[in-house]
Structure 1
Protein backbone atom coordinates (compact mmCIF):
# COMPACT_ATOMS: atom_id res chain seq x y z
CA UNK A 1 0.00 0.00 0.00
CA UNK A 2 2.84 2.40 0.78
CA UNK A 3 4.58 1.65 -2.53
CA UNK A 4 1.92 3.45 -4.55
CA UNK A 5 0.38 6.84 -4.11
CA UNK A 6 -3.13 5.72 -5.04
CA UNK A 7 -4.94 2.51 -4.20
CA UNK A 8 -7.19 2.63 -7.25
CA UNK A 9 -6.20 3.45 -10.81
CA UNK A 10 -6.80 7.12 -11.63
CA UNK A 11 -9.33 8.13 -14.21
CA UNK A 12 -8.21 10.58 -16.85
CA UNK A 13 -10.49 13.26 -18.16
CA UNK A 14 -10.77 12.85 -21.92
CA UNK A 15 -10.49 16.18 -23.72
CA UNK A 16 -12.80 17.10 -26.53
CA UNK A 17 -11.83 19.21 -29.51
CA UNK A 18 -10.64 22.71 -28.72
CA UNK A 19 -12.99 25.56 -29.62
CA UNK A 20 -10.01 27.92 -29.30
CA UNK A 21 -8.64 26.99 -32.73
CA UNK A 22 -12.05 27.52 -34.34
CA UNK A 23 -12.24 31.01 -32.79
CA UNK A 24 -8.72 31.94 -33.93
CA UNK A 25 -9.16 30.66 -37.48
CA UNK A 26 -12.74 30.54 -38.74
CA UNK A 27 -14.43 33.14 -36.54
CA UNK A 28 -11.57 35.63 -36.66
CA UNK A 29 -11.51 35.56 -40.47
CA UNK A 30 -15.21 35.27 -41.25
CA UNK A 31 -17.38 36.11 -38.26
CA UNK A 32 -15.98 39.04 -36.29
CA UNK A 33 -19.21 39.30 -34.29
CA UNK A 34 -18.82 35.74 -32.96
CA UNK A 35 -15.10 36.29 -32.38
CA UNK A 36 -15.95 39.33 -30.29
CA UNK A 37 -18.57 37.35 -28.38
CA UNK A 38 -15.93 34.80 -27.34
CA UNK A 39 -12.98 37.09 -26.59
CA UNK A 40 -14.71 40.45 -25.96
CA UNK A 41 -12.45 42.28 -28.43
CA UNK A 42 -12.50 42.77 -32.19
CA UNK A 43 -10.07 40.78 -34.36
CA UNK A 44 -8.13 43.99 -35.10
CA UNK A 45 -7.75 44.80 -31.39
CA UNK A 46 -6.76 41.21 -30.71
CA UNK A 47 -4.04 41.32 -33.40
CA UNK A 48 -2.67 44.60 -32.06
CA UNK A 49 -2.60 43.23 -28.51
CA UNK A 50 -0.81 40.07 -29.62
CA UNK A 51 1.76 42.03 -31.64
CA UNK A 52 2.42 44.31 -28.65
CA UNK A 53 2.94 41.34 -26.31
CA UNK A 54 4.54 38.68 -28.50
CA UNK A 55 8.18 39.67 -27.84
CA UNK A 56 7.81 39.71 -24.06
CA UNK A 57 10.31 37.31 -22.48
CA UNK A 58 7.61 35.74 -20.30
CA UNK A 59 6.36 33.86 -23.39
CA UNK A 60 9.71 32.12 -23.99
CA UNK A 61 11.43 29.36 -22.05
CA UNK A 62 15.16 29.09 -21.35
CA UNK A 63 16.05 27.87 -24.84
CA UNK A 64 14.34 30.91 -26.39
CA UNK A 65 11.69 28.78 -28.05
CA UNK A 66 8.08 29.78 -27.45
CA UNK A 67 5.69 27.74 -25.34
CA UNK A 68 2.17 27.81 -26.77
CA UNK A 69 1.76 30.41 -29.50
CA UNK A 70 1.26 33.87 -28.00
CA UNK A 71 -2.04 34.40 -29.82
CA UNK A 72 -3.44 31.25 -28.19
CA UNK A 73 -2.25 32.35 -24.75
CA UNK A 74 -3.79 35.82 -25.16
CA UNK A 75 -7.03 34.26 -26.42
CA UNK A 76 -7.27 31.95 -23.40
CA UNK A 77 -6.71 34.85 -21.01
CA UNK A 78 -9.24 37.08 -22.79
CA UNK A 79 -11.82 34.29 -22.80
CA UNK A 80 -11.31 33.81 -19.07
CA UNK A 81 -11.48 37.56 -18.32
CA UNK A 82 -14.59 37.97 -20.45
CA UNK A 83 -16.67 35.44 -18.56
CA UNK A 84 -17.87 35.14 -15.00
CA UNK A 85 -19.50 32.62 -12.75
CA UNK A 86 -19.26 29.00 -13.84
CA UNK A 87 -18.18 30.00 -17.36
CA UNK A 88 -14.93 31.43 -15.94
CA UNK A 89 -14.02 28.36 -13.89
CA UNK A 90 -10.66 26.80 -14.65
CA UNK A 91 -12.36 23.64 -15.90
CA UNK A 92 -14.72 25.52 -18.22
CA UNK A 93 -11.89 27.55 -19.74
CA UNK A 94 -9.73 24.43 -20.00
CA UNK A 95 -12.54 22.60 -21.82
CA UNK A 96 -13.01 25.54 -24.20
CA UNK A 97 -9.30 25.73 -24.99
CA UNK A 98 -8.54 22.00 -24.93
CA UNK A 99 -5.90 22.49 -22.23
CA UNK A 100 -5.36 21.44 -18.63
CA UNK A 101 -6.50 23.59 -15.71
CA UNK A 102 -2.91 24.19 -14.62
CA UNK A 103 -2.02 25.41 -18.09
CA UNK A 104 -4.90 27.89 -18.01
CA UNK A 105 -3.60 29.23 -14.70
CA UNK A 106 -0.03 29.57 -16.07
CA UNK A 107 -1.25 31.28 -19.25
CA UNK A 108 -3.26 33.80 -17.24
CA UNK A 109 -0.22 34.63 -15.11
CA UNK A 110 1.99 35.02 -18.19
CA UNK A 111 -0.42 37.33 -19.98
CA UNK A 112 -0.95 39.48 -16.89
CA UNK A 113 2.81 39.68 -16.31
CA UNK A 114 3.28 40.93 -19.87
CA UNK A 115 0.38 43.40 -19.67
CA UNK A 116 1.53 44.87 -16.35
CA UNK A 117 5.10 45.54 -17.47
CA UNK A 118 5.86 49.28 -17.32
CA UNK A 119 6.79 49.46 -21.02
CA UNK A 120 3.44 48.06 -22.13
CA UNK A 121 1.51 50.16 -19.62
CA UNK A 122 3.19 53.39 -20.79
CA UNK A 123 2.38 52.56 -24.38
CA UNK A 124 -1.18 51.27 -23.89
CA UNK A 125 -2.63 53.36 -21.05
CA UNK A 126 -2.99 57.08 -21.56
CA UNK A 127 -4.33 59.46 -18.97
CA UNK A 128 -6.76 62.13 -20.22
CA UNK A 129 -5.46 65.60 -20.99
CA UNK A 130 -6.73 68.69 -19.16
CA UNK A 131 -8.93 69.52 -22.17
CA UNK A 132 -10.45 66.02 -22.16
CA UNK A 133 -11.09 66.21 -18.42
CA UNK A 134 -12.85 69.57 -18.81
CA UNK A 135 -15.00 68.20 -21.66
CA UNK A 136 -15.99 65.24 -19.46
CA UNK A 137 -16.88 67.59 -16.59
CA UNK A 138 -19.05 69.69 -18.90
CA UNK A 139 -20.82 66.57 -20.14
CA UNK A 140 -21.55 65.41 -16.55
CA UNK A 141 -22.85 68.86 -15.65
CA UNK A 142 -25.16 68.99 -18.67
CA UNK A 143 -26.41 65.40 -18.59
CA UNK A 144 -26.67 64.55 -14.90
CA UNK A 145 -26.49 66.19 -11.49
CA UNK A 146 -24.65 69.53 -11.61
CA UNK A 147 -23.12 68.88 -8.18
CA UNK A 148 -21.20 65.91 -9.64
CA UNK A 149 -19.25 68.09 -12.09
CA UNK A 150 -15.96 68.05 -10.16
CA UNK A 151 -16.24 64.55 -8.74
CA UNK A 152 -13.60 62.05 -9.68
CA UNK A 153 -14.16 58.81 -7.79
CA UNK A 154 -16.66 56.20 -8.93
CA UNK A 155 -17.06 53.02 -6.87
CA UNK A 156 -19.88 50.70 -7.77
CA UNK A 157 -21.18 47.26 -7.10
CA UNK A 158 -23.22 47.56 -3.91
CA UNK A 159 -26.71 46.14 -4.45
CA UNK A 160 -29.57 47.77 -2.55
CA UNK A 161 -32.50 45.32 -2.42
CA UNK A 162 -35.97 46.56 -3.34
CA UNK A 163 -39.06 45.41 -1.48
CA UNK A 164 -40.89 44.50 -4.66
CA UNK A 165 -40.47 44.46 -8.41
CA UNK A 166 -40.70 47.98 -9.87
CA UNK A 167 -43.74 48.56 -12.09
CA UNK A 168 -41.81 50.12 -14.97
CA UNK A 169 -39.14 47.87 -16.55
CA UNK A 170 -39.14 45.60 -13.51
CA UNK A 171 -37.09 42.88 -15.23
CA UNK A 172 -34.22 45.40 -15.57
CA UNK A 173 -33.87 45.45 -11.79
CA UNK A 174 -33.53 41.65 -11.45
CA UNK A 175 -29.93 41.05 -10.35
CA UNK A 176 -27.51 38.12 -10.45
CA UNK A 177 -28.57 37.13 -6.92
CA UNK A 178 -32.18 36.68 -8.05
CA UNK A 179 -33.45 39.78 -6.24
CA UNK A 180 -34.83 43.09 -7.40
CA UNK A 181 -32.25 45.73 -6.53
CA UNK A 182 -30.55 48.98 -7.45
CA UNK A 183 -26.83 49.32 -7.93
CA UNK A 184 -25.34 51.90 -5.60
CA UNK A 185 -22.63 54.12 -7.03
CA UNK A 186 -20.47 56.35 -4.89
CA UNK A 187 -19.25 59.36 -6.81
CA UNK A 188 -17.69 61.86 -4.43
CA UNK A 189 -14.08 62.37 -3.34
CA UNK A 190 -15.04 61.68 0.28
CA UNK A 191 -17.06 58.56 -0.72
CA UNK A 192 -20.43 60.07 0.16
Structure 2
Protein backbone atom coordinates (compact mmCIF):
# COMPACT_ATOMS: atom_id res chain seq x y z
CA UNK A 1 0.00 0.00 0.00
CA UNK A 2 2.88 2.34 0.82
CA UNK A 3 4.28 2.01 -2.68
CA UNK A 4 0.93 2.87 -4.30
CA UNK A 5 0.70 5.99 -2.15
CA UNK A 6 4.28 6.86 -3.08
CA UNK A 7 3.59 6.48 -6.82
CA UNK A 8 0.47 8.63 -6.56
CA UNK A 9 2.37 11.45 -4.84
CA UNK A 10 5.13 11.64 -7.46
CA UNK A 11 5.10 14.72 -9.64
CA UNK A 12 4.13 14.15 -13.26
CA UNK A 13 7.76 14.59 -14.31
CA UNK A 14 9.14 12.11 -11.76
CA UNK A 15 6.41 9.59 -12.47
CA UNK A 16 7.09 9.80 -16.20
CA UNK A 17 10.83 9.27 -15.60
CA UNK A 18 10.11 6.20 -13.48
CA UNK A 19 7.37 4.57 -15.56
CA UNK A 20 7.79 6.23 -18.99
CA UNK A 21 4.11 7.17 -19.08
CA UNK A 22 1.70 9.65 -17.53
CA UNK A 23 -0.33 9.01 -14.39
CA UNK A 24 -3.49 8.99 -16.52
CA UNK A 25 -2.18 6.49 -19.09
CA UNK A 26 -0.82 4.32 -16.28
CA UNK A 27 -4.22 4.18 -14.56
CA UNK A 28 -5.96 3.34 -17.84
CA UNK A 29 -3.49 0.53 -18.44
CA UNK A 30 -3.95 -0.82 -14.91
CA UNK A 31 -7.73 -0.88 -15.43
CA UNK A 32 -7.28 -2.96 -18.59
CA UNK A 33 -4.84 -5.52 -17.14
CA UNK A 34 -5.83 -5.91 -13.47
CA UNK A 35 -8.50 -8.56 -14.07
CA UNK A 36 -6.08 -10.93 -15.79
CA UNK A 37 -5.80 -14.35 -14.13
CA UNK A 38 -2.01 -14.02 -13.99
CA UNK A 39 -2.48 -11.56 -11.12
CA UNK A 40 -4.46 -14.09 -9.10
CA UNK A 41 -2.98 -17.03 -7.25
CA UNK A 42 -4.00 -19.52 -4.62
CA UNK A 43 -0.70 -19.30 -2.78
CA UNK A 44 -0.41 -18.06 0.78
CA UNK A 45 2.05 -15.47 -0.52
CA UNK A 46 -0.02 -12.60 -1.86
CA UNK A 47 1.15 -10.90 -5.01
CA UNK A 48 1.79 -7.20 -5.11
CA UNK A 49 -1.01 -5.27 -6.77
CA UNK A 50 -1.22 -5.22 -10.57
CA UNK A 51 -0.41 -1.49 -10.44
CA UNK A 52 2.85 -2.09 -8.58
CA UNK A 53 3.76 -4.99 -10.88
CA UNK A 54 3.11 -2.73 -13.87
CA UNK A 55 5.25 0.05 -12.38
CA UNK A 56 8.06 -2.45 -11.72
CA UNK A 57 7.81 -3.82 -15.27
CA UNK A 58 7.80 -0.37 -16.87
CA UNK A 59 10.75 0.71 -14.73
CA UNK A 60 12.61 -2.46 -15.67
CA UNK A 61 11.88 -2.04 -19.37
CA UNK A 62 13.16 1.53 -19.31
CA UNK A 63 16.45 0.48 -17.72
CA UNK A 64 19.37 -0.89 -19.67
CA UNK A 65 18.95 -4.30 -18.06
CA UNK A 66 22.18 -4.41 -16.10
CA UNK A 67 22.38 -5.55 -12.50
CA UNK A 68 22.93 -2.05 -11.19
CA UNK A 69 19.70 -0.74 -12.73
CA UNK A 70 17.71 -3.73 -11.51
CA UNK A 71 19.29 -3.36 -8.08
CA UNK A 72 18.03 0.22 -7.87
CA UNK A 73 14.55 -0.85 -8.95
CA UNK A 74 14.62 -3.60 -6.33
CA UNK A 75 15.61 -1.15 -3.60
CA UNK A 76 12.95 1.35 -4.66
CA UNK A 77 10.15 -1.21 -4.65
CA UNK A 78 11.55 -3.40 -1.87
CA UNK A 79 11.63 -6.55 -4.02
CA UNK A 80 14.19 -9.05 -5.25
CA UNK A 81 15.84 -9.28 -8.65
CA UNK A 82 13.79 -12.41 -9.31
CA UNK A 83 10.55 -10.57 -8.57
CA UNK A 84 11.52 -7.82 -11.01
CA UNK A 85 12.08 -10.41 -13.74
CA UNK A 86 8.84 -12.23 -12.86
CA UNK A 87 6.72 -9.07 -12.85
CA UNK A 88 8.26 -7.85 -16.10
CA UNK A 89 7.58 -11.18 -17.81
CA UNK A 90 4.06 -11.36 -16.39
CA UNK A 91 3.11 -7.84 -17.46
CA UNK A 92 4.69 -8.28 -20.89
CA UNK A 93 2.71 -11.48 -21.48
CA UNK A 94 -0.52 -9.79 -20.41
CA UNK A 95 0.14 -6.80 -22.66
CA UNK A 96 0.79 -9.13 -25.58
CA UNK A 97 -2.53 -10.88 -24.94
CA UNK A 98 -4.29 -7.51 -24.85
CA UNK A 99 -2.21 -5.84 -27.54
CA UNK A 100 -5.20 -4.87 -29.67
CA UNK A 101 -6.75 -3.11 -26.67
CA UNK A 102 -3.66 -1.44 -25.21
CA UNK A 103 -1.22 -0.79 -28.07
CA UNK A 104 -2.04 2.00 -30.47
CA UNK A 105 -0.99 1.18 -34.02
CA UNK A 106 -0.19 3.85 -36.55
CA UNK A 107 -2.86 4.62 -39.06
CA UNK A 108 -1.89 4.77 -42.72
CA UNK A 109 -2.29 8.56 -42.57
CA UNK A 110 0.33 9.14 -39.85
CA UNK A 111 3.33 7.71 -41.77
CA UNK A 112 2.20 9.63 -44.88
CA UNK A 113 1.99 12.83 -42.87
CA UNK A 114 5.42 12.22 -41.34
CA UNK A 115 6.87 11.44 -44.77
CA UNK A 116 5.64 14.78 -46.10
CA UNK A 117 7.22 16.61 -43.17
CA UNK A 118 10.48 14.70 -43.60
CA UNK A 119 10.45 15.36 -47.36
CA UNK A 120 10.08 19.10 -46.69
CA UNK A 121 13.02 18.90 -44.27
CA UNK A 122 15.24 17.25 -46.89
CA UNK A 123 14.81 13.58 -45.98
CA UNK A 124 12.86 12.01 -48.86
CA UNK A 125 11.36 8.57 -48.22
CA UNK A 126 11.85 8.85 -44.45
CA UNK A 127 9.00 8.61 -41.92
CA UNK A 128 11.02 9.37 -38.80
CA UNK A 129 14.38 9.24 -37.13
CA UNK A 130 16.03 8.53 -33.82
CA UNK A 131 17.43 11.42 -31.83
CA UNK A 132 20.89 9.89 -31.51
CA UNK A 133 20.40 8.60 -27.99
CA UNK A 134 22.48 5.58 -27.18
CA UNK A 135 21.07 2.55 -25.50
CA UNK A 136 23.85 1.01 -23.43
CA UNK A 137 23.95 -2.76 -23.40
CA UNK A 138 24.82 -4.53 -20.17
CA UNK A 139 26.71 -7.16 -22.14
CA UNK A 140 27.71 -7.58 -25.74
CA UNK A 141 25.71 -9.91 -27.98
CA UNK A 142 27.16 -13.42 -28.42
CA UNK A 143 27.45 -13.10 -32.21
CA UNK A 144 29.91 -10.48 -33.44
CA UNK A 145 29.95 -8.81 -30.04
CA UNK A 146 33.15 -6.93 -30.89
CA UNK A 147 31.20 -4.98 -33.53
CA UNK A 148 28.91 -3.40 -30.93
CA UNK A 149 30.69 -0.17 -30.09
CA UNK A 150 29.48 3.40 -30.28
CA UNK A 151 31.62 6.34 -31.37
CA UNK A 152 33.18 6.43 -27.88
CA UNK A 153 34.15 2.74 -28.11
CA UNK A 154 31.70 1.72 -25.37
> Shared fold (TM-score greater than 0.5)?
yes
Shift of 1:48: 0.9
- 1:88 aligns with 69
- 2:11 aligns with 31
Change (3 A) 1:59 1:140: same
For CA contacts below 8 A with separation 6 or more, give which structure has more relative contact order: 2
Change (3 A) 1:30 1:124: closer
- 1:128 aligns with 106
Structure in which a larger fraction of residues adopt strand: 1
SS in structure 1 at match of 2:91: helix
Question: Are 1:27 and 1:34, in contact at CA under 8 Å, matched by a contact in 2?
Answer: no
- 2:123 aligns with 145
- 1:7 aligns with none
Shift of 1:101: 1.9
TM-score for the superposition, normalised by structure 1 = 0.58
Q: What is the aligned counterpart of 2:77 among 69, 81, 97?
A: 97
Structure in which a larger fraction of residues adopt helix: 2
Shift of 1:132: 2.5
**How many angstroms apart in 2 are the aligned matches of 1:86 and 1:121?**
29
Shift of 1:43: 0.9
- Report the aligned-residue RMSD: 3.1
Residue 53 (structure 1) aligned with residue 33 (structure 2): yes
Change (3 A) 1:145 1:93: same
What residue ranges of structure 2 are gaps of 5+ in the alignment? 135-147
Give aligned pairs, total: 136
What residue ranges of structure 1 are gaps of 5+ in the alignment? 1-19, 162-174, 178-192
**How many angstroms apart in 2 are the aligned matches of 1:143 and 1:153?**
12
- 2:56 aligns with 76
